[in-house]
């Protein structure tokens, strides 16, 4: 009952904002527009670049803290306090998404965040996970609180897993797939799967057929193909042409959807200052044009703030466009 006790205490503190009132949103970002999810409010549960893998395609850059240790990386009570304040003050979103600076299931309180959203709002919840901790029954139990779980699978065996995802040494591909199958058997919600295609590592038709066979054993409701349209961790990672992705999509059951291109959606939020922009860029490297679409402000206003952020940013070119990301 330790969990019950802790959660009660958390909510009690949330209900007394004087104890925990955050000065600004440290753990929330957006809402950012999403083609599939409409307006999605992000919740970030781990410090920047804390993950159980170090994927070659990671848009955050190379992972600083590769770990499988689960703990309360950021104070749960502060995350719930920010959510409480956001719901009361800033309006609403269609979804609350656990994602951001690394792997959310590393945080031992991610299930409590999902339960809090369910109890306190009519927003639906999404968990984005790299699948690596789903062999743990307690992680599957908490993940099942989400309305949608989006898992990742971009390999077909341990060797390809190590090349594409560069997992923590303790992680094993077959055990991860067992966890994914167990999740499918236990979970009544919507299960999506994302497969990231990297030329030279997993893009050959035979390799994609092997991934499709593994995916078929997991039976996700929807499969999405992605490729490196944004600057990845490793320079050698190139994007696959959209026509090629479309061809690969037919290998999967159900046929995969191609989600690789940036699609600006509705304008998401109105507040725009240096802090908001830098936090957004830290989780979503983007061009000035994309940031203007995401925030609902003019490109000139975004460029002006980008100039003020100066050395806090780094730039990289991708397909002839300049992407802004957090400086290391
Ligand atoms: S892409 Fe996702 S799972 Fe892979 S290293 Fe980056 S944050 Fe972790």
pLDDT category of residue 144 using cuts at 50, 70 and 90: very high
Q: Is the pLDDT of residue 277 over 50?
A: yes
Expressed as residue numbers, the domain containing 59 is 2-269
Q: Are residues 298 and 185 in the same domain?
A: no
Task: Tell me the CA–centroid distance for residue 47 and ligand 1, in Å.
Answer: 13
Same domain, 228 and 303: no
> Using one digit for the tens of pLDDT, what is the confidence trace for 50-96?
999 999 999 888 877 899 999 999 999 999 999 999 999 866 789 99
The H or E element that residue 24 is part of is: none
> In Å, what is the CA distance from 200 to each residue of 3, 208, 239, 242?
45, 12, 11, 16
Q: What is the mean pLDDT of residues 126-154?
A: 98
Q: What angle do CA 101, 105, 108 make, to 5 degrees?
A: 110
Which residue, chain included where needed, has tokens 């240790």?
A: 69
- The residue whose CB lies within 8 Å of the most ligand 1 atoms, and thus the one to mutate among 130, 164, 194, is 130
The answer to whether residues 189 and 294 belong to one domain is no
Largest CA distance in the chain: 59
Q: In terms of domains, do 313 and 248 share one?
A: no
Q: What pLDDT, on a 0 to 100 scale, did the predictor assign at position 1?
A: 23
Q: Is 239 in the pocket of ligand 1 (CB under 6 A)?
A: no
Q: From CA 190, how far away is CA 149, in angstroms rounded?
A: 6
Residue 79 lies in a domain: yes
- DSSP, collapsed to helix, strand or coil, labels residue 175 as helix
325 φ, ψ to 5°?
-145, 170
Question: Which residue puts its alpha carbon closest to atom 1 of ligand 1?
Answer: 58
User: Could you tell me if 243 and 295 lie in one domain?
Assistant: no
Are 247 and 316 found together in one domain?
no
Mutate to test the pocket of ligand 1, among 64, 100, 102, 165 (most ligand atoms within 8 A of CB): 102
Give the rounded percent of residues in the chain with a pLDDT score beyond 90.
57
Burial class of residue 23 (count of CB atoms within 10 Å of its CB; 0-12, 13-18, 19+): exposed
Q: Structural domain tally of the chain? A: 2
CA atoms 87, 7, 180, 170: torsion sign: positive
List the CATH number of the domain containing 129.
Answer: 3.20.20.70
Residue 90 lies in a domain: yes
Considering the domain architecture, whether residues 14 and 125 belong to the same structural domain is answered as yes
Nearest to 265 by CA among 130, 83, 94, 149: 94
Residues 284-301 pLDDT 10s: 788 888 787 777 677 777
- Domain of 316: which CATH number? 1.10.10.10
Q: Whose CA is nearest to atom 3 of ligand 1?
A: 130
In this prediction the pTM is 0.79
State the pLDDT confidence band at 108, using cuts at 50, 70 and 90: very high
d(C-alpha 131, C-alpha 152), whole Å:
6
Backbone dihedral angles phi then psi of residue 190, each to the nearest 5 degrees: -95, 125
């Amino acid at each position: 009952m330790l969990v019950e006790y802790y959660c009660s205490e958390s909510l009690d503190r949330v209900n007394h904002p004087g104890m925990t009132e955050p000065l600004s949103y440290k753990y929330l970002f957006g809402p950012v527009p999403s083609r599939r999810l409409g307006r999605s409010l992000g919740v970030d549960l781990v410090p920047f670049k804390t993950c159980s893998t170090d994927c070659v395609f990671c848009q955050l850059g190379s992972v600083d803290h590769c770990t499988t240790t689960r703990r309360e990386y950021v104070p749960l009570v502060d995350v719930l306090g920010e959510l409480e304040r956001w719901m009361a003050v800033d309006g609403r979103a269609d979804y609350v998404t656990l994602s951001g600076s690394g792997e959310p299931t590393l945080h031992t309180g991610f299930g409590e965040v999902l339960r809090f959203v369910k109890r306190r709002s009519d927003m639906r919840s999404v968990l984005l996970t790299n699948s690596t901790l789903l062999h743990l029954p307690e992680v599957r139990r908490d993940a099942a609180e989400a309305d949608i779980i989006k898992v990742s699978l971009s390999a077909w065996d341990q060797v390809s897993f190590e090349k594409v995802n560069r997992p923590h040494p303790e992680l094993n591909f077959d055990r991860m797939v067992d966890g994914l199958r167990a999740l499918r058997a236990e979970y009544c919600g919507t299960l999506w799967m994302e497969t990231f295609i990297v030329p030279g590592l997993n893009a050959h038709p035979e390799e994609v057929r092997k991934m499709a066979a593994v995916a078929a054993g997991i039976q996700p409701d929807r499969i999405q193909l992605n490729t490196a349209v944004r600057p990845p961790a490793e320079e050698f990672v190139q994007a696959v042409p959209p026509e090629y992705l479309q061809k690969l999509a037919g290998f999967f059951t159900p046929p995969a959807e191609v989600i690789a291109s940036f699609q600006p959606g509705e304008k998401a939020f109105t507040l725009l200052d240096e802090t908001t922009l830098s936090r957004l860029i830290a989780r979503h490297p983007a061009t000035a044009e994309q940031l203007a679409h995401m925030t609902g402000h003019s490109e000139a206003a975004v460029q002006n703030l980008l100039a003020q952020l100066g050395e806090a940013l780094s730039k990289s070119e991708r397909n002839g466009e300049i992407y802004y990301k957090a400086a290391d």
